[in-house]
Structure 1
Amino acid sequence: MELHKSITLKHLLINQKKFIGIQFSTNKVIQALIDTLPDVSWSQEFAMFYVPNTTANLKLIYRTFQGVAWVNGNFFFSDKLINADNPILNLERYRSRKPKDGFKYCPEEYLLKLELKRYADNTVRNYVSCFEGFINYYYTIDPIALNEIDVRKYLQKLIQEGKSNSYINMAVNSIKFFYEIVHGMPNRFYAIERPRKERQLPEVISKEEVVLIMNIRIP
Protein backbone atom coordinates (compact mmCIF):
# COMPACT_ATOMS: atom_id res chain seq x y z
CA MET A 1 0.00 0.00 0.00
CA GLU A 2 1.40 3.39 -0.93
CA LEU A 3 1.32 5.96 1.85
CA HIS A 4 1.07 9.69 1.15
CA LYS A 5 0.46 10.89 4.72
CA SER A 6 3.35 11.48 7.11
CA ILE A 7 4.12 12.79 10.55
CA THR A 8 7.44 14.14 11.83
CA LEU A 9 8.74 13.58 15.34
CA LYS A 10 10.60 16.35 17.17
CA HIS A 11 12.30 16.69 20.55
CA LEU A 12 10.53 19.27 22.71
CA LEU A 13 11.54 20.67 26.08
CA ILE A 14 8.62 22.32 27.88
CA ASN A 15 8.97 23.49 31.48
CA GLN A 16 12.18 21.46 31.73
CA LYS A 17 10.35 18.26 30.79
CA LYS A 18 11.00 16.19 27.67
CA PHE A 19 8.23 15.56 25.16
CA ILE A 20 7.76 14.00 21.74
CA GLY A 21 6.52 16.63 19.30
CA ILE A 22 4.29 15.43 16.47
CA GLN A 23 4.22 17.63 13.39
CA PHE A 24 1.99 17.05 10.36
CA SER A 25 0.01 18.78 7.65
CA THR A 26 -3.69 19.21 8.40
CA ASN A 27 -5.41 15.87 7.91
CA LYS A 28 -8.60 14.55 9.52
CA VAL A 29 -7.40 10.94 9.70
CA ILE A 30 -4.10 11.84 11.36
CA GLN A 31 -5.86 14.26 13.73
CA ALA A 32 -8.30 11.54 14.78
CA LEU A 33 -5.41 9.19 15.58
CA ILE A 34 -3.53 11.93 17.43
CA ASP A 35 -6.58 12.39 19.66
CA THR A 36 -6.35 8.72 20.72
CA LEU A 37 -2.83 9.15 22.17
CA PRO A 38 -2.64 9.37 25.98
CA ASP A 39 -1.84 12.73 27.58
CA VAL A 40 -1.62 14.50 24.23
CA SER A 41 -1.44 18.30 24.31
CA TRP A 42 -1.10 21.19 21.88
CA SER A 43 1.82 23.64 22.00
CA GLN A 44 0.99 27.09 20.67
CA GLU A 45 4.67 28.01 20.84
CA PHE A 46 5.86 25.13 18.69
CA ALA A 47 2.63 24.72 16.70
CA MET A 48 2.44 20.98 17.17
CA PHE A 49 0.93 18.30 19.38
CA TYR A 50 3.10 16.52 21.91
CA VAL A 51 3.11 13.63 24.37
CA PRO A 52 5.48 12.73 27.22
CA ASN A 53 8.80 11.39 25.96
CA THR A 54 8.64 7.76 27.05
CA THR A 55 9.58 4.52 25.31
CA ALA A 56 5.98 3.35 25.63
CA ASN A 57 4.65 6.47 23.89
CA LEU A 58 7.24 6.23 21.12
CA LYS A 59 6.26 2.63 20.41
CA LEU A 60 2.59 3.57 20.58
CA ILE A 61 3.06 6.30 17.97
CA TYR A 62 4.60 3.83 15.52
CA ARG A 63 1.85 1.28 16.16
CA THR A 64 -0.89 3.89 15.82
CA PHE A 65 0.30 5.17 12.44
CA GLN A 66 1.55 1.92 10.95
CA GLY A 67 -0.13 1.47 7.57
CA VAL A 68 -1.64 4.96 7.76
CA ALA A 69 1.25 7.42 7.64
CA TRP A 70 5.03 7.41 7.48
CA VAL A 71 6.71 8.32 10.73
CA ASN A 72 9.69 10.56 9.96
CA GLY A 73 12.22 10.25 12.78
CA ASN A 74 15.12 12.08 11.12
CA PHE A 75 14.89 14.97 13.58
CA PHE A 76 14.24 12.77 16.60
CA PHE A 77 16.84 10.03 16.49
CA SER A 78 20.49 10.94 16.80
CA ASP A 79 22.97 9.85 14.14
CA LYS A 80 24.75 7.09 15.97
CA LEU A 81 27.96 5.73 14.46
CA ILE A 82 27.85 2.17 13.20
CA ASN A 83 31.51 1.70 14.05
CA ALA A 84 33.48 4.52 15.61
CA ASP A 85 36.71 2.67 14.80
CA ASN A 86 36.12 2.98 11.07
CA PRO A 87 38.01 5.84 9.40
CA ILE A 88 36.12 8.97 8.43
CA LEU A 89 34.77 8.48 4.93
CA ASN A 90 35.49 10.67 1.94
CA LEU A 91 32.84 10.02 -0.68
CA GLU A 92 33.95 12.70 -3.13
CA ARG A 93 34.64 9.96 -5.66
CA TYR A 94 30.88 9.52 -5.93
CA ARG A 95 30.00 13.20 -5.80
CA SER A 96 32.52 14.16 -8.49
CA ARG A 97 31.29 11.69 -11.10
CA LYS A 98 30.36 13.25 -14.43
CA PRO A 99 26.61 13.17 -15.21
CA LYS A 100 25.49 10.39 -17.54
CA ASP A 101 22.40 10.61 -19.73
CA GLY A 102 19.69 8.23 -18.61
CA PHE A 103 21.42 7.33 -15.33
CA LYS A 104 20.66 8.55 -11.81
CA TYR A 105 23.44 8.66 -9.25
CA CYS A 106 23.00 7.94 -5.56
CA PRO A 107 21.39 11.06 -3.98
CA GLU A 108 23.49 13.34 -1.80
CA GLU A 109 21.31 12.66 1.25
CA TYR A 110 22.17 8.96 0.95
CA LEU A 111 25.91 9.63 0.75
CA LEU A 112 25.76 12.06 3.64
CA LYS A 113 24.05 9.52 5.91
CA LEU A 114 26.66 6.88 4.99
CA GLU A 115 29.35 9.36 6.04
CA LEU A 116 27.60 10.21 9.30
CA LYS A 117 27.10 6.55 10.18
CA ARG A 118 30.74 5.82 9.22
CA TYR A 119 30.03 2.60 7.37
CA ALA A 120 32.99 0.53 6.16
CA ASP A 121 34.27 1.53 2.72
CA ASN A 122 33.41 -1.87 1.23
CA THR A 123 29.85 -1.63 2.56
CA VAL A 124 29.51 1.87 1.12
CA ARG A 125 30.66 0.67 -2.29
CA ASN A 126 28.13 -2.19 -2.26
CA TYR A 127 25.26 -0.03 -0.96
CA VAL A 128 25.82 2.71 -3.55
CA SER A 129 26.08 0.20 -6.40
CA CYS A 130 22.99 -1.76 -5.35
CA PHE A 131 20.86 1.30 -4.65
CA GLU A 132 21.77 2.90 -7.98
CA GLY A 133 20.68 -0.31 -9.68
CA PHE A 134 17.33 0.00 -7.92
CA ILE A 135 16.64 3.69 -8.63
CA ASN A 136 17.66 3.33 -12.25
CA TYR A 137 15.30 0.40 -12.73
CA TYR A 138 12.62 2.96 -11.86
CA TYR A 139 14.44 5.82 -13.55
CA THR A 140 11.39 8.00 -14.19
CA ILE A 141 9.88 7.56 -10.69
CA ASP A 142 10.80 9.35 -7.48
CA PRO A 143 12.00 6.60 -5.07
CA ILE A 144 9.79 8.04 -2.32
CA ALA A 145 6.75 7.18 -4.44
CA LEU A 146 7.69 3.49 -4.70
CA ASN A 147 6.03 0.84 -2.54
CA GLU A 148 6.55 -2.77 -1.46
CA ILE A 149 5.13 -4.14 -4.72
CA ASP A 150 7.71 -2.14 -6.68
CA VAL A 151 10.53 -3.44 -4.49
CA ARG A 152 9.37 -7.04 -4.90
CA LYS A 153 9.22 -6.59 -8.64
CA TYR A 154 12.81 -5.37 -8.67
CA LEU A 155 13.99 -8.23 -6.45
CA GLN A 156 12.20 -10.69 -8.75
CA LYS A 157 14.20 -9.21 -11.63
CA LEU A 158 17.44 -9.86 -9.75
CA ILE A 159 16.39 -13.45 -9.09
CA GLN A 160 15.58 -13.97 -12.78
CA GLU A 161 19.01 -12.61 -13.65
CA GLY A 162 20.57 -15.30 -11.48
CA LYS A 163 21.94 -12.95 -8.80
CA SER A 164 23.20 -14.70 -5.67
CA ASN A 165 21.28 -14.61 -2.40
CA SER A 166 24.05 -12.54 -0.83
CA TYR A 167 23.71 -9.96 -3.61
CA ILE A 168 19.93 -9.82 -3.22
CA ASN A 169 20.29 -9.40 0.55
CA MET A 170 22.72 -6.54 -0.04
CA ALA A 171 20.19 -4.95 -2.42
CA VAL A 172 17.48 -5.23 0.25
CA ASN A 173 19.80 -3.63 2.81
CA SER A 174 20.66 -0.75 0.49
CA ILE A 175 16.97 -0.07 -0.23
CA LYS A 176 15.96 -0.27 3.43
CA PHE A 177 18.81 2.12 4.29
CA PHE A 178 17.28 4.76 2.02
CA TYR A 179 13.77 4.53 3.42
CA GLU A 180 14.42 3.67 7.06
CA ILE A 181 17.70 5.48 7.81
CA VAL A 182 17.89 8.34 5.31
CA HIS A 183 14.17 9.21 5.38
CA GLY A 184 13.20 7.90 8.80
CA MET A 185 10.45 5.56 7.65
CA PRO A 186 10.94 2.57 10.00
CA ASN A 187 9.40 -0.72 8.86
CA ARG A 188 8.04 0.75 5.66
CA PHE A 189 9.12 -2.45 3.91
CA TYR A 190 8.76 -4.82 6.84
CA ALA A 191 6.99 -7.41 4.65
CA ILE A 192 9.81 -7.75 2.11
CA GLU A 193 10.99 -11.36 2.19
CA ARG A 194 14.71 -12.05 2.18
CA PRO A 195 16.16 -15.04 0.30
CA ARG A 196 17.19 -17.99 2.42
CA LYS A 197 20.86 -18.54 3.07
CA GLU A 198 22.44 -20.56 0.32
CA ARG A 199 23.53 -24.07 1.21
CA GLN A 200 26.18 -25.64 -0.93
CA LEU A 201 25.77 -29.35 -1.50
CA PRO A 202 28.86 -31.52 -0.97
CA GLU A 203 30.59 -32.69 -4.11
CA VAL A 204 29.60 -36.25 -5.00
CA ILE A 205 31.80 -38.36 -7.25
CA SER A 206 30.24 -40.34 -10.09
CA LYS A 207 29.80 -44.13 -10.26
CA GLU A 208 32.52 -44.31 -12.90
CA GLU A 209 34.96 -42.52 -10.59
CA VAL A 210 34.11 -44.95 -7.76
CA VAL A 211 34.77 -47.96 -10.01
CA LEU A 212 38.02 -46.42 -11.22
CA ILE A 213 39.21 -45.86 -7.64
CA MET A 214 38.30 -49.45 -6.64
CA ASN A 215 40.19 -50.88 -9.61
CA ILE A 216 43.39 -49.03 -8.78
CA ARG A 217 45.95 -51.54 -7.55
CA ILE A 218 48.05 -50.43 -4.65
CA PRO A 219 51.65 -51.66 -5.13
Structure 2
Amino acid sequence: MKTIFVTSTLWKKKAVVMLKFDFDQELILLVKSLPNAKWNSERRAWLFPYSDNILDELLSLFSGKAWIDYSDFNKIKAEQLPTTLPELAPDIEQEVRKFVEWMQNRRYAESTVKTYSQSLSLFFRYIDNKKPEEISSEDLGNFHQNYILRRKYSVSFQSQVINAVKLYFSTKQKRKLEPIEIERPKRPKQLPHVLSKEEVKEILQVHKNVKHRTMLSLIYACGLRRSELLNLRLTDVDSKRGLLRVNHGKGGKDRVLPISVKVIEMLREYYKLEKPLTYLFEGTKAGQAYSGKSLENVLNQAIKKVGMKKKPTLHWLRHSYATHLLENGTDLRYIQELLGHKSSKTTEIYTHVSTHSLQKVKSPFDDL
Protein backbone atom coordinates (compact mmCIF):
# COMPACT_ATOMS: atom_id res chain seq x y z
CA MET A 1 0.00 0.00 0.00
CA LYS A 2 1.40 3.39 -1.00
CA THR A 3 2.03 6.27 1.42
CA ILE A 4 0.67 9.80 1.02
CA PHE A 5 2.56 12.52 2.88
CA VAL A 6 0.24 15.28 4.07
CA THR A 7 1.51 18.69 5.19
CA SER A 8 -0.13 22.02 5.94
CA THR A 9 1.61 25.20 4.92
CA LEU A 10 1.24 28.76 3.68
CA TRP A 11 1.60 29.16 -0.07
CA LYS A 12 1.39 32.62 -1.64
CA LYS A 13 -0.24 33.98 1.52
CA LYS A 14 -2.91 31.28 1.53
CA ALA A 15 -3.35 28.31 3.87
CA VAL A 16 -3.07 25.13 1.81
CA VAL A 17 -2.69 21.38 2.20
CA MET A 18 0.00 19.55 0.21
CA LEU A 19 -0.15 15.89 -0.82
CA LYS A 20 2.94 14.05 -2.01
CA PHE A 21 3.06 10.44 -3.19
CA ASP A 22 4.58 8.22 -5.85
CA PHE A 23 2.71 8.14 -9.15
CA ASP A 24 -0.52 6.16 -8.92
CA GLN A 25 -3.42 6.74 -11.32
CA GLU A 26 -6.08 5.62 -8.83
CA LEU A 27 -4.80 7.98 -6.13
CA ILE A 28 -4.59 10.85 -8.62
CA LEU A 29 -8.25 10.39 -9.55
CA LEU A 30 -9.20 10.48 -5.89
CA VAL A 31 -7.19 13.68 -5.34
CA LYS A 32 -8.87 15.31 -8.33
CA SER A 33 -12.22 14.73 -6.61
CA LEU A 34 -11.16 17.22 -3.93
CA PRO A 35 -12.49 20.77 -4.52
CA ASN A 36 -9.89 23.06 -6.16
CA ALA A 37 -7.10 20.45 -6.02
CA LYS A 38 -4.30 21.40 -8.42
CA TRP A 39 -0.92 19.93 -9.32
CA ASN A 40 1.95 22.28 -8.48
CA SER A 41 5.07 21.50 -10.51
CA GLU A 42 7.22 23.83 -8.39
CA ARG A 43 6.46 21.98 -5.17
CA ARG A 44 6.01 18.61 -6.91
CA ALA A 45 2.79 18.13 -4.96
CA TRP A 46 -1.00 18.43 -5.11
CA LEU A 47 -2.26 21.63 -3.44
CA PHE A 48 -5.77 22.54 -2.32
CA PRO A 49 -7.30 24.96 0.23
CA TYR A 50 -6.88 24.21 3.93
CA SER A 51 -9.84 23.56 6.22
CA ASP A 52 -10.02 22.49 9.87
CA ASN A 53 -11.64 19.15 9.09
CA ILE A 54 -9.52 18.33 6.03
CA LEU A 55 -7.50 15.62 7.78
CA ASP A 56 -10.62 13.62 8.62
CA GLU A 57 -11.79 13.98 5.02
CA LEU A 58 -8.46 12.69 3.69
CA LEU A 59 -8.41 9.71 6.05
CA SER A 60 -11.90 8.80 4.89
CA LEU A 61 -11.17 9.38 1.19
CA PHE A 62 -8.05 7.21 1.10
CA SER A 63 -9.18 4.56 3.56
CA GLY A 64 -8.00 1.18 2.31
CA LYS A 65 -6.22 2.83 -0.63
CA ALA A 66 -3.07 4.32 0.96
CA TRP A 67 -1.33 5.07 4.25
CA ILE A 68 -1.68 8.70 5.34
CA ASP A 69 1.48 10.14 6.94
CA TYR A 70 0.32 13.33 8.68
CA SER A 71 3.27 13.68 11.06
CA ASP A 72 4.08 17.10 9.52
CA PHE A 73 0.47 18.29 9.45
CA ASN A 74 -0.45 21.06 11.89
CA LYS A 75 -3.67 23.00 12.26
CA ILE A 76 -3.33 26.53 10.89
CA LYS A 77 -4.88 29.12 13.16
CA ALA A 78 -6.26 32.42 11.91
CA GLU A 79 -3.53 34.38 13.66
CA GLN A 80 -0.88 32.39 11.79
CA LEU A 81 -2.03 33.64 8.42
CA PRO A 82 0.25 36.32 7.06
CA THR A 83 -0.78 39.93 7.23
CA THR A 84 -0.19 42.23 4.28
CA LEU A 85 3.55 42.32 4.90
CA PRO A 86 5.63 43.39 1.91
CA GLU A 87 8.01 41.04 0.18
CA LEU A 88 11.72 41.34 0.96
CA ALA A 89 13.49 44.06 -1.01
CA PRO A 90 16.43 42.79 -3.13
CA ASP A 91 19.06 44.50 -0.96
CA ILE A 92 17.52 43.15 2.25
CA GLU A 93 17.24 39.68 0.71
CA GLN A 94 20.96 39.90 0.00
CA GLU A 95 21.60 40.73 3.68
CA VAL A 96 19.67 37.64 4.74
CA ARG A 97 21.69 35.49 2.31
CA LYS A 98 24.96 36.84 3.75
CA PHE A 99 23.69 36.00 7.23
CA VAL A 100 22.87 32.47 6.08
CA GLU A 101 26.38 32.07 4.65
CA TRP A 102 27.88 33.34 7.91
CA MET A 103 25.92 30.74 9.91
CA GLN A 104 26.80 27.94 7.48
CA ASN A 105 30.50 28.81 7.65
CA ARG A 106 30.33 28.48 11.42
CA ARG A 107 28.64 25.09 11.14
CA TYR A 108 25.28 26.06 12.62
CA ALA A 109 22.77 23.24 12.41
CA GLU A 110 20.76 23.21 9.19
CA SER A 111 17.52 23.56 11.14
CA THR A 112 18.89 26.61 13.00
CA VAL A 113 20.03 28.27 9.76
CA LYS A 114 16.57 27.79 8.27
CA THR A 115 14.72 29.01 11.37
CA TYR A 116 16.93 32.06 11.90
CA SER A 117 16.83 33.14 8.25
CA GLN A 118 13.03 32.87 8.20
CA SER A 119 12.79 34.78 11.49
CA LEU A 120 15.08 37.58 10.30
CA SER A 121 13.17 37.84 7.02
CA LEU A 122 9.91 38.17 8.93
CA PHE A 123 11.35 40.99 11.04
CA PHE A 124 12.59 42.90 7.98
CA ARG A 125 9.25 42.49 6.26
CA TYR A 126 7.42 43.78 9.33
CA ILE A 127 9.50 46.96 9.46
CA ASP A 128 8.93 47.50 5.73
CA ASN A 129 12.47 46.72 4.52
CA LYS A 130 14.04 49.44 6.61
CA LYS A 131 17.80 49.72 6.09
CA PRO A 132 19.74 47.75 8.75
CA GLU A 133 21.80 50.77 9.78
CA GLU A 134 18.59 52.70 10.51
CA ILE A 135 16.97 50.01 12.65
CA SER A 136 16.84 50.66 16.40
CA SER A 137 15.96 48.76 19.55
CA GLU A 138 12.61 50.51 19.38
CA ASP A 139 11.85 48.73 16.10
CA LEU A 140 12.50 45.34 17.68
CA GLY A 141 10.37 46.27 20.70
CA ASN A 142 7.54 47.38 18.43
CA PHE A 143 7.78 44.13 16.41
CA HIS A 144 7.67 42.10 19.63
CA GLN A 145 4.69 43.98 21.08
CA ASN A 146 2.54 44.46 18.00
CA TYR A 147 3.30 41.29 16.05
CA ILE A 148 4.51 38.45 18.26
CA LEU A 149 2.44 39.18 21.38
CA ARG A 150 -0.67 40.41 19.57
CA ARG A 151 -0.79 37.25 17.48
CA LYS A 152 -0.19 35.13 20.61
CA TYR A 153 2.78 33.22 19.26
CA SER A 154 4.46 30.68 21.51
CA VAL A 155 7.34 31.37 23.87
CA SER A 156 9.67 29.27 21.70
CA PHE A 157 8.70 31.23 18.57
CA GLN A 158 9.27 34.50 20.43
CA SER A 159 12.73 33.39 21.56
CA GLN A 160 13.88 32.13 18.18
CA VAL A 161 12.84 35.32 16.36
CA ILE A 162 14.45 37.65 18.89
CA ASN A 163 17.59 35.49 19.03
CA ALA A 164 17.86 35.56 15.24
CA VAL A 165 17.52 39.34 15.02
CA LYS A 166 19.97 39.98 17.85
CA LEU A 167 22.52 37.55 16.38
CA TYR A 168 22.34 39.24 12.99
CA PHE A 169 22.92 42.71 14.42
CA SER A 170 25.69 41.65 16.80
CA THR A 171 27.63 39.78 14.10
CA LYS A 172 26.85 41.54 10.81
CA GLN A 173 26.11 45.08 12.01
CA LYS A 174 28.48 44.98 15.01
CA ARG A 175 25.97 46.49 17.43
CA LYS A 176 23.38 45.32 19.90
CA LEU A 177 19.64 45.69 19.90
CA GLU A 178 18.47 45.68 23.51
CA PRO A 179 14.83 46.74 23.85
CA ILE A 180 14.18 47.12 27.58
CA GLU A 181 10.47 46.33 27.36
CA ILE A 182 11.01 42.79 26.08
CA GLU A 183 10.77 40.27 28.87
CA ARG A 184 11.92 36.82 27.90
CA PRO A 185 9.55 34.40 29.63
CA LYS A 186 10.94 31.05 30.66
CA ARG A 187 9.86 28.09 28.63
CA PRO A 188 7.36 25.90 30.42
CA LYS A 189 9.09 22.90 31.96
CA GLN A 190 7.36 19.97 30.32
CA LEU A 191 8.08 16.44 31.42
CA PRO A 192 9.16 13.93 28.77
CA HIS A 193 6.65 11.34 27.60
CA VAL A 194 7.56 7.80 28.61
CA LEU A 195 6.18 4.46 27.46
CA SER A 196 6.12 1.38 29.64
CA LYS A 197 8.41 -1.52 28.72
CA GLU A 198 5.35 -3.49 27.65
CA GLU A 199 4.24 -0.70 25.29
CA VAL A 200 7.74 -0.40 23.83
CA LYS A 201 7.86 -4.15 23.24
CA GLU A 202 4.54 -4.06 21.39
CA ILE A 203 5.74 -1.25 19.09
CA LEU A 204 9.10 -2.87 18.37
CA GLN A 205 7.76 -6.32 17.61
CA VAL A 206 4.60 -5.55 15.61
CA HIS A 207 6.38 -4.99 12.28
CA LYS A 208 7.09 -8.10 10.19
CA ASN A 209 9.47 -6.08 8.03
CA VAL A 210 12.95 -6.72 9.48
CA LYS A 211 14.29 -3.34 8.41
CA HIS A 212 11.45 -1.43 10.06
CA ARG A 213 11.71 -3.49 13.21
CA THR A 214 15.49 -2.99 13.39
CA MET A 215 15.33 0.80 12.98
CA LEU A 216 12.81 1.30 15.76
CA SER A 217 14.61 -1.20 17.99
CA LEU A 218 17.97 0.52 17.59
CA ILE A 219 16.50 3.91 18.54
CA TYR A 220 15.24 2.44 21.81
CA ALA A 221 18.20 0.11 22.43
CA CYS A 222 20.71 2.99 22.24
CA GLY A 223 18.57 6.06 23.01
CA LEU A 224 19.24 7.60 19.61
CA ARG A 225 17.82 10.77 18.16
CA ARG A 226 16.13 10.43 14.77
CA SER A 227 18.94 12.22 12.91
CA GLU A 228 21.57 10.09 14.68
CA LEU A 229 19.97 6.87 13.49
CA LEU A 230 19.60 8.12 9.91
CA ASN A 231 23.24 9.29 9.75
CA LEU A 232 24.70 5.97 10.95
CA ARG A 233 27.09 4.35 8.49
CA LEU A 234 28.10 0.71 8.24
CA THR A 235 31.54 1.59 9.63
CA ASP A 236 29.96 2.99 12.81
CA VAL A 237 29.09 -0.53 14.03
CA ASP A 238 31.95 -2.30 15.82
CA SER A 239 30.49 -5.77 16.37
CA LYS A 240 33.71 -7.23 17.78
CA ARG A 241 33.90 -4.69 20.60
CA GLY A 242 30.12 -4.36 20.95
CA LEU A 243 30.12 -0.61 20.28
CA LEU A 244 28.17 1.86 18.18
CA ARG A 245 29.77 5.17 17.19
CA VAL A 246 27.52 8.22 16.85
CA ASN A 247 29.17 10.97 14.82
CA HIS A 248 28.14 14.62 14.92
CA GLY A 249 25.23 14.28 17.31
CA LYS A 250 23.44 17.33 18.67
CA GLY A 251 25.93 20.14 19.21
CA GLY A 252 28.42 18.38 16.91
CA LYS A 253 29.33 15.90 19.63
CA ASP A 254 30.56 12.36 18.94
CA ARG A 255 29.94 9.54 21.38
CA VAL A 256 30.35 5.78 21.64
CA LEU A 257 27.53 3.54 22.87
CA PRO A 258 27.52 -0.08 24.02
CA ILE A 259 25.40 -2.50 22.01
CA SER A 260 24.46 -5.91 23.33
CA VAL A 261 24.86 -9.28 21.64
CA LYS A 262 21.10 -9.26 21.06
CA VAL A 263 21.34 -5.99 19.15
CA ILE A 264 24.33 -7.20 17.12
CA GLU A 265 22.47 -10.37 16.08
CA MET A 266 19.48 -8.25 15.05
CA LEU A 267 21.75 -6.02 12.91
CA ARG A 268 23.40 -9.05 11.30
CA GLU A 269 20.03 -10.51 10.34
CA TYR A 270 19.01 -7.17 8.85
CA TYR A 271 22.28 -6.76 6.94
CA LYS A 272 22.02 -10.20 5.34
CA LEU A 273 18.58 -9.31 4.00
CA GLU A 274 19.10 -5.69 2.94
CA LYS A 275 22.86 -5.42 2.23
CA PRO A 276 23.09 -1.60 2.49
CA LEU A 277 26.07 0.01 0.75
CA THR A 278 27.02 3.11 2.76
CA TYR A 279 24.48 4.06 5.39
CA LEU A 280 23.27 1.52 7.91
CA PHE A 281 19.70 2.26 6.83
CA GLU A 282 19.13 3.32 3.23
CA GLY A 283 16.07 4.36 1.28
CA THR A 284 14.91 3.13 -2.11
CA LYS A 285 18.11 4.43 -3.70
CA ALA A 286 21.23 2.49 -2.74
CA GLY A 287 23.86 4.56 -0.97
CA GLN A 288 21.40 7.24 0.18
CA ALA A 289 20.22 7.58 3.76
CA TYR A 290 16.67 6.64 4.79
CA SER A 291 14.39 9.69 5.01
CA GLY A 292 13.10 11.15 8.27
CA LYS A 293 9.49 11.21 7.07
CA SER A 294 9.63 7.56 6.08
CA LEU A 295 11.02 6.66 9.50
CA GLU A 296 8.20 8.54 11.22
CA ASN A 297 5.75 6.68 9.01
CA VAL A 298 7.26 3.37 10.15
CA LEU A 299 6.48 4.33 13.75
CA ASN A 300 2.98 5.57 12.89
CA GLN A 301 2.19 2.28 11.19
CA ALA A 302 3.39 0.34 14.23
CA ILE A 303 1.19 2.44 16.53
CA LYS A 304 -1.79 1.84 14.28
CA LYS A 305 -1.16 -1.91 14.18
CA VAL A 306 -1.02 -2.26 17.98
CA GLY A 307 -4.12 -0.07 18.37
CA MET A 308 -2.45 2.35 20.76
CA LYS A 309 -4.49 5.41 21.68
CA LYS A 310 -1.38 7.42 22.54
CA LYS A 311 0.44 9.16 19.70
CA PRO A 312 4.12 8.54 20.49
CA THR A 313 6.89 10.19 18.50
CA LEU A 314 10.31 8.71 17.78
CA HIS A 315 11.73 10.82 20.61
CA TRP A 316 9.44 9.03 23.07
CA LEU A 317 11.55 5.91 22.49
CA ARG A 318 14.67 7.85 23.51
CA HIS A 319 12.90 9.21 26.61
CA SER A 320 11.72 5.71 27.49
CA TYR A 321 15.26 4.33 27.10
CA ALA A 322 16.64 6.90 29.56
CA THR A 323 13.83 6.42 32.07
CA HIS A 324 14.06 2.62 31.99
CA LEU A 325 17.84 2.83 32.52
CA LEU A 326 17.23 5.00 35.59
CA GLU A 327 14.61 2.60 36.92
CA ASN A 328 17.09 -0.25 36.48
CA GLY A 329 19.52 1.55 38.77
CA THR A 330 21.89 3.10 36.19
CA ASP A 331 23.74 6.13 37.54
CA LEU A 332 22.62 9.48 36.12
CA ARG A 333 26.20 10.31 35.11
CA TYR A 334 26.30 7.30 32.80
CA ILE A 335 22.87 8.10 31.37
CA GLN A 336 24.10 11.63 30.63
CA GLU A 337 27.03 10.22 28.65
CA LEU A 338 24.87 7.70 26.81
CA LEU A 339 22.38 10.36 25.74
CA GLY A 340 25.06 12.89 24.81
CA HIS A 341 23.71 15.58 27.12
CA LYS A 342 25.97 18.55 27.69
CA SER A 343 24.49 19.35 31.09
CA SER A 344 23.52 16.96 33.87
CA LYS A 345 20.44 19.15 34.48
CA THR A 346 19.02 17.98 31.17
CA THR A 347 19.36 14.36 32.26
CA GLU A 348 17.90 15.00 35.72
CA ILE A 349 14.46 15.58 34.22
CA TYR A 350 14.06 11.80 33.95
CA THR A 351 14.01 11.53 37.74
CA HIS A 352 10.61 13.26 37.59
CA VAL A 353 9.05 10.60 35.37
CA SER A 354 10.68 7.50 36.84
CA THR A 355 8.17 5.39 38.76
CA HIS A 356 10.85 3.39 40.60
CA SER A 357 10.74 5.53 43.76
CA LEU A 358 7.22 6.90 43.36
CA GLN A 359 5.67 3.44 43.53
CA LYS A 360 7.18 2.96 46.98
CA VAL A 361 5.34 6.00 48.34
CA LYS A 362 2.28 5.02 50.35
CA SER A 363 -0.72 7.33 50.19
CA PRO A 364 -2.26 8.32 53.57
CA PHE A 365 -5.58 7.36 51.97
CA ASP A 366 -4.59 3.71 52.40
CA ASP A 367 -4.49 4.14 56.19
CA LEU A 368 -8.02 5.42 56.46
TM-score range, shorter chain: 0.3 to 0.5
TM superposition score normalised by structure 2: 0.27
Higher helix content, 1 or 2? 2
Q: Higher relative contact order by CA 8 Å / sep ≥ 6: 1 or 2?
A: 1
- With the length of structure 1 as denominator, give the TM-score of the two structures: 0.43
